[in-house]
Structure 1
Amino acid sequence: MSSGSPLSPHAALPRRRWERALTGGLIRAAARLRHGLRAALAHAAGPEAAEASRLLASLDQAADGLVLIGRDGRIVHASRRVPELLPTAAGLLAPGTPVERFALAAGLAPEAQETEVADPGGVWVRITRKPTADGGSVLTVSDITAQKRREAALERTNARLDAALNNMSQGLCLYDSEHRLLIANRRFYEIYRLDPAVVRPGITFPELLARSIAAGNHNPTVAKTLIAERLGFVARRESGISFQDLADGRVIAISHEPIPGGHWVVTYQDITERRRAEAQITYLARHDALTGLANRLQLRERVDQALAQRAAGARVALLSLDLDGFRAVNEAVGQPAGDQVLRQVAERLLACARDGDTVARLGGDEFAVVQVGIDKSEAASALARRLLAALAKPFVVDGQAVELGASIGVALAPEDGASHDQLLHHAQLALDQCRRERRGAIRFFTPEMDAAVQRRRTLESDLRQAIERGELQAVYQPILELASGRVSGFEALLRWRHPSRGMVSPVEFIPVAEEMGLIVPIGAWMLRRACTDAMTWPDGVRVAVNVSAIQFRDPNLVATVATALADSGLPASRLEIEITESLLLEDEAATGALLHRLRGLGVRIAMDDFGTGYSSLGYLRSFPFDKIKIDQSLIRDLDSKPDSRAIVRAIIGLGRSLGMRTTAEGVEARTVLDILRTEGCAEAQGYLFSRPCVAERVPDVLRRLTQQRVPANAAAA
């Protein structure tokens, strides 16, 4: 065939195109050369043979494998690429082989379009078969391995994306620029309770909202407004978060984010539980968890609000209240039962208050009531009386009757303060006055109460400085043995000489020292001072030191006593520790153990103030005291009250039978001394013998009392 043959124009076409264009002619040429094709091509001459040779050569250069099939279903020719793609069928590609044998050897199913080659694995081919005009066909074998790998990779990526989307805790929707749904994850359908079979990608946003309304998520009356609002937000192309209240009470947080190309994505999160938790936290921040009453924070808010809204001439009352005896009840019936009592207290307080008033729990057994819109203090008094009457009735807990009372302090605005802090402080000062004077009472604040507090604060400050400046001193009052008249010992007493106030009574400053926690270091100082001073006295003269209940709670008390003895050199037998009966009421077992440890040091133990109301034979049996000191309240009236003499006689007899010495305190009259001697009391102390004196005067007192012995006509020294 000459260069001007019809083949020439095809050379300028893309390779695939001219390959397809030549396929029909190639089949016809190949059919004529079926028997002995290669030989004919080698020896034949002429244009047709040359053209067929060129066509076959072109076929072998094709990227796809081509199998030419005649009208009889036998292979006419297979290009070089076919055995490369289907190596298992390489031996069945000779011209004349039935195409079915080739397909079977290649593992091709008749209907297969794409298949993975068995050997080598991992190679994928696509098989297509097209008929030709002369009744034959062309089988095209294409290598699609790279495409399959891309598809597999894309499928894995899509699977991971689906897994990620469907395991999100938030719902997600992706919309295109025409507001059509492209993607929705499983959580979105769960939140809005929608059927994925109904709400499918392609649905418009308004249609989706309509489905959501039909599912009962929204009130149908707001459908148009809801759609308009959401579409308006989308149209503005703004990022933002909004909150949606569903018809069933759930709250959904919606986050909208525009993305390039006019698309937009929305995430949905059910925050119902978080909102409930936040509401609960907000509630608890302003309410008492046990009773549900207002707490200190809400009380402040209500007082401030009442003061701000107070009309001219009107008053606001703040009543501060605590329960009398609640601690004992709590210890007797247990804390759970005590909590039940507090809840019942709250109910009764609320029943007494009016609408607009506020009842609060401040903590423990302390409560407060804010009374608004009153014009006279009598209204506050009336409310306080109602409260006391309500709380005086027995409380029933687990079938057990519990009786309590209450004390109330009242402050009024504007005269007692113009702020929450002032009113509450003044109401509590009035309550403190009740506690000191008489439980179960009502007290209104007076300026004198504040002045007393200021004096107390000054006293506290001065007491701290008194320790640092050495203003505290020990004084000593002698104790006489009545049988012999000799001085058996001295009781060490604490005194405070204030630089401007002079001598401050122990009754005034010792309770303050105990409340401030200063009594422990003061007590340790007193022990050291007493032991050191006693070392200057004659042998056999003891020193007695009082130890308070607070000192007994100090774990270092025994070490403090031992150190005082060691540093001073005083024999332990000359130190007497005095405790009060009330100490045994706090924790009898622990106190007894501590007393035994003190006794182990060799010191003597005395029970002070015996007969003041807590006396019990059980205490004397629980610990072998060395001495019983009879309280001066029984001694002073010994010569005028027969019942006092009977009690003192009984105590002396009890001490004698238990092997304990008895000491009478507060002896001021000779007639009393005579009675004590008659009744067999072992020792006595009081102004009849000597007032307490400083350590420097002890030798003089000893000398005088030794000369007088038990004086017949002694006068106070």
Structure 2
Amino acid sequence: MRRLEIGADEAVAIALSIAEASSEHELFVSMLKAVEAFRGETRFCAYVVKHQKAGVRISADFGFPHHDLPCEQVEDWLLRDGPKPGICHGLAEGCRSAGAKLMAGDEVLGAIFMVFPDKKDGGQADEVNQNLVEDFARLGASSLVALRKRRLSTMVLEALEQSEEAIVFYGEDDEGVIFSNDAYHRVFPHYPSRRELQGKKHIDLYKMDLEAGVINDPLALSEPDCYLKERQALAERLVDTQREIQKLGKKTYIYTRTRSQAGAIMSRRIDITEQAVAEARLRQREKQLQSLVYTDSLTGLHNRPYFLEYMEDLAIRMKDGDLEAVSVFWIDLNGFKIVNDTYGHIYGDSILRKIGRRLQMGVTEASEMVRYGGDEFVMVFEKAVVGEQLEVLANRILTIISAPINHEATSIQIGASVGIARTSGQDADLAELLGNADLAMYEAKKQSLCAYRIFDPQMRSSMIERNALIDDIREAFDKEQFELYFQPQFNTQKGSLVGFEALVRWQHPVRGSVPPDVFIPIMEENKMIEELGRWVLMGACKEAKHWPGDLFVAVNVSPLQLRNPHFALTIGRALAQSALKPEQLELEITESVLLDENDGERSQIETWKKLGVQVALDDVGKGYSSLSYLSQFPFDKIKIDRSFLKAFEAGKPKDASAVILHAIVELGKTLGKTVIAEGVETADQLEYLRSVDCDQAQGFYLGRPMPAKEARKFIRKSRSLLWRRANMSLGS
């Protein structure tokens, strides 16, 4: 078909006049003028579809016989795919008509109709007219869409300018401020003018706030640099929307930051200082504030209140049969408390944020992920996670958390314990499910720094037994069921008794004798070990006062006691009340306690030394790098772990255990330390210790742990030269 042919310059002029129209009327006037430039005097009519397709209206009428073209017919054509209306009445002789829809993609915007004078174009006149109308319909439709967008943008800009909310826009790619309204400058009167604020970065504005002293945040007041880093980190995490309650001077605002898909950011502050205004605004923004309530402000994850409601919803869905199974991964960080205590809570918060972000990015399969509280996270999968999938997920979580975390100039590494539980069926108890996952997590803690365990019913039985044991321990204090035992220690060369190690025994009326390796770990986990430690220290000192002055008593010190800055007072009190000479008291510390290399622990030991007591490093060589501790800490004695003697074989002096034992003895002597070996159970072991010049020995071969009365008898017997010869001679 032949199309209307016009010059390039004319086409541009026509398009601009129509595209730049500021109203529908001006748009259609420009269209009419353009048509008449080609076809002469033209009668023109334009119909526009109303909002939400509520009908059509006449937008322009320039001499058109629209009584022959009722709106009802046009509406039927445009909105209900009816027949195209024709114009047959009212046309002057020799005139021709044409019409076309205004289309934007699949959307019908309206229609235009024109009546032209007949220019005697032959048989193609109608075709040319129709092509002309369709060309202008396409141009008119695109111009009408652009006009509406411009009008909407104008209305939005006017609304932003007149809004009582303080609004500022930042450009994409950290472009800085590109718009701020008057309300924003009323909130921040210390900012420069709107023009001068253009291009300022987000962090630049916070610096101006700090200089003006309008921020009431405690961190901003005490550590402004840390506060700026926190705000910068918060801005960098912005993906969708962030909300918080912010205090500026004497006013309080709801502060919202939203990032568009293009990367631009809109910041809004709503004044909620006045109660009446606050109530009205809070009602309008209930959903926004609800989101704030359910979000952990530190990590951006959902929080515990949200999680509890979410689990209630899951329970309903399972009961109704809409959900078949649920799996829970309960995650507890290991070593996080040490990070907090060592580097401070701001550093610890940064670690939690990074771990939260890692988990979000690395475990996208989770249906829900929350920070339950402190250093605990929970993941929920709305399905049964089993087999290889479970193993892969659990190991991935452990790998994500245990990867080194770099913060400023420091790199740290922490671990995690993961408890996994699952349930299915309409009778599922989700409260029990959470308890099961928690139990499995505690079982994982017993394994290693990074481990996971899957719940099995035996764990609950063990926990019930464990809780009963805890109750019995508390009762044991009240009923004085604990008793001190003493195991003798000897000089290997002279065969003389040098002292005793104080040990605690528990005789339960029903359980019988409960081994220390059962109740001691439980007391340490439940913060009861310090009470027991004080009791042992006081009792040991009082008993040792009855011994000859050349004998000492060795007392084990727990990790909690070592980290307690008041423990030195406890030592002093025990010595004063018992009247025991300080040099008769020896405090034993296991090398595993010193793994953190805390300066506070070194200071503690030095304080004990100032009291005059002796300090020994226990379990040397058990599995940690204890050699460096010998030079770093002021130990008087080192105690070789029993595992070396246990592996020792008589007649094999070149065996690895014997060589290592000999090396430790030599090292201790070189450093001027007394060396004692524990676990002596045979004459061959004792003979070897004497041959390598080990100073002291302890073990069942020399004497088992015994009650205080028997220890006194043992002392009297040991003072007998004949007894010593009979029991300590290498030939016996």
TM-score by length of 2: 0.56
Deviation at 1:285, TM superposition (A): 2.1
After superposition, residues 497-516 of structure 1 pair within 5 angstroms as: 497-516=507-526
Distance 1:537 1:620 in 2: 30
Deviation at 1:336, TM superposition (A): 5.6
Number of aligned positions between the proteins: 461
Distance 2:638 2:675 in 1: 5
Distance 1:302 1:251 in 2: 30
CA contact (8 A) 1:321 1:408 kept: yes
Q: Which of 307, 311, 314 is residue 315 of structure 2 equivalent to?
A: 307
Deviation at 1:576, TM superposition (A): 1.7
Distance 2:564 2:412 in 1: 34
Q: Which of 352, 357, 362 is residue 372 of structure 2 equivalent to?
A: 362
The DSSP-based 3-state class of the residue aligned with 1:484 is: coil
Deviation at 1:397, TM superposition (A): 5.7
Which string of whole-angstrom CA distances, capped at 9 and with x for unpartnered residues, describes residues 405-456 of structure 1? Answer: 5442111124899444322121011111112124544322111111111111
Matched, 1:594 2:604: yes
Partner of 2:655: 642
* 1:485–1:376 Cα change, 3 Å: closer
CA contact (8 A) 2:419 2:438 kept: yes
Deviation at 1:339, TM superposition (A): 4.7
Deviation at 1:379, TM superposition (A): 5.8
CA contact (8 A) 2:330 2:378 kept: yes
CA contact (8 A) 1:416 1:423 kept: no
Distance 2:628 2:426 in 1: 51
Distance 2:164 2:483 in 1: 83
The DSSP-based 3-state class of the residue aligned with 1:598 is: helix
Distance 2:276 2:621 in 1: 78
Distance 1:626 1:662 in 2: 9
Which string of whole-angstrom CA distances, capped at 9 and with x for unpartnered residues, describes residues 504-554 of structure 1? Answer: 111111122223332222222212221222233233122111121212333
Deviation at 1:478, TM superposition (A): 0.5
Distance 1:192 1:465 in 2: 66
After superposition, residues 246-261 of structure 1 pair within 5 angstroms as: none
CA contact (8 A) 2:355 2:401 kept: yes
Partner of 2:530: 520
Distance 1:451 1:333 in 2: 39
CA contact (8 A) 1:317 1:380 kept: no
CA contact (8 A) 1:250 1:270 kept: no
Task: Return 525-534 or 416-425, whichever deviates more.
Answer: 416-425
The structure with the largest alpha-carbon Rg is 1
The DSSP-based 3-state class of the residue aligned with 2:601 is: helix
Task: Return 350-359 or 309-318, whichever deviates more.
Answer: 350-359
Matched, 1:539 2:549: yes
After superposition, residues 135-534 of structure 1 pair within 5 angstroms as: 274=282, 281-310=289-318, 311=321, 314-323=324-333, 339=349, 342-351=352-361, 357-374=367-384, 380=390, 383-385=393-395, 387-388=397-398, 406-414=416-424, 418-534=428-544
Distance 2:528 2:162 in 1: 67
* 1:527–1:276 Cα change, 3 Å: farther
Amino acid at match of 1:684: A
Amino acid at match of 1:565: L
CA contact (8 A) 2:384 2:423 kept: no
Distance 1:482 1:192 in 2: 89
* 1:418–1:691 Cα change, 3 Å: same
Which string of whole-angstrom CA distances, capped at 9 and with x for unpartnered residues, describes residues 55-92 of structure 1? Answer: xxxxxxxxxxxxxxxxxxxxxxxxxxxxxxxxxxxxxx
* 1:326–1:414 Cα change, 3 Å: same
Distance 1:499 1:469 in 2: 11
CA contact (8 A) 2:489 2:501 kept: yes
Amino acid at match of 1:463: I
Deviation at 1:375, TM superposition (A): 8.6
Task: Return 522-531 or 404-413, whichever deviates more.
Answer: 404-413
The DSSP-based 3-state class of the residue aligned with 1:491 is: strand
The DSSP-based 3-state class of the residue aligned with 2:446 is: helix
Matched, 1:680 2:693: yes
CA contact (8 A) 1:688 1:714 kept: no
Q: Which of 670, 684, 694 is residue 671 of structure 1 equivalent to?
A: 684
Deviation at 1:653, TM superposition (A): 1.8
Deviation at 1:347, TM superposition (A): 4.1
After superposition, residues 6-155 of structure 1 pair within 5 angstroms as: none
Matched, 1:571 2:586: no
CA contact (8 A) 1:689 1:714 kept: no
Distance 1:405 1:539 in 2: 48
Distance 2:385 2:691 in 1: 67
The DSSP-based 3-state class of the residue aligned with 1:479 is: strand
CA contact (8 A) 1:510 1:519 kept: yes
After superposition, residues 699-710 of structure 1 pair within 5 angstroms as: 699-705=712-718, 706=720, 707-709=722-724
Partner of 1:135: none
Which string of whole-angstrom CA distances, capped at 9 and with x for unpartnered residues, describes residues 628-670 of structure 1? Answer: 1111122222336723222222222222223221111111122
CA contact (8 A) 1:492 1:545 kept: yes
Deviation at 1:484, TM superposition (A): 0.9
* 1:538–1:347 Cα change, 3 Å: closer
Partner of 2:709: 696
Matched, 1:550 2:560: yes
TM-score by length of 1: 0.57
CA contact (8 A) 2:385 2:422 kept: no
* 1:376–1:588 Cα change, 3 Å: closer
CA contact (8 A) 1:484 1:709 kept: no
Distance 1:672 1:307 in 2: 64
* 1:452–1:680 Cα change, 3 Å: same
CA contact (8 A) 2:331 2:418 kept: yes
* 1:409–1:495 Cα change, 3 Å: same
The DSSP-based 3-state class of the residue aligned with 1:709 is: helix
Distance 1:395 1:379 in 2: 26
Matched, 1:628 2:643: no
Amino acid at match of 2:301: L
Percent identical pairs in the alignment equals: 36
CA contact (8 A) 1:490 1:542 kept: yes
Task: Return 387-396 or 480-489, whichever deviates more.
Answer: 387-396
Distance 1:408 1:352 in 2: 16
Distance 1:397 1:597 in 2: 33
CA contact (8 A) 1:416 1:422 kept: no
Distance 1:423 1:454 in 2: 16
CA contact (8 A) 1:632 1:665 kept: yes
Amino acid at match of 2:324: A
Which string of whole-angstrom CA distances, capped at 9 and with x for unpartnered residues, describes residues 38-67 of structure 1? Answer: xxxxxxxxxxxxxxxxxxxxxxxxxxxxxx
Distance 1:398 1:305 in 2: 42
Distance 1:558 1:703 in 2: 33
Partner of 2:197: none
Distance 1:271 1:554 in 2: 50
Deviation at 1:685, TM superposition (A): 0.4
Deviation at 1:681, TM superposition (A): 0.5
Amino acid at match of 2:724: R
Deviation at 1:326, TM superposition (A): 5.2
CA RMSD of aligned residues (A): 3.9
Deviation at 1:403, TM superposition (A): 5.9
Amino acid at match of 1:694: P
Consecutive unaligned residues in structure 2, runs of 5 or more: 1-160, 166-267
Distance 1:349 1:687 in 2: 52
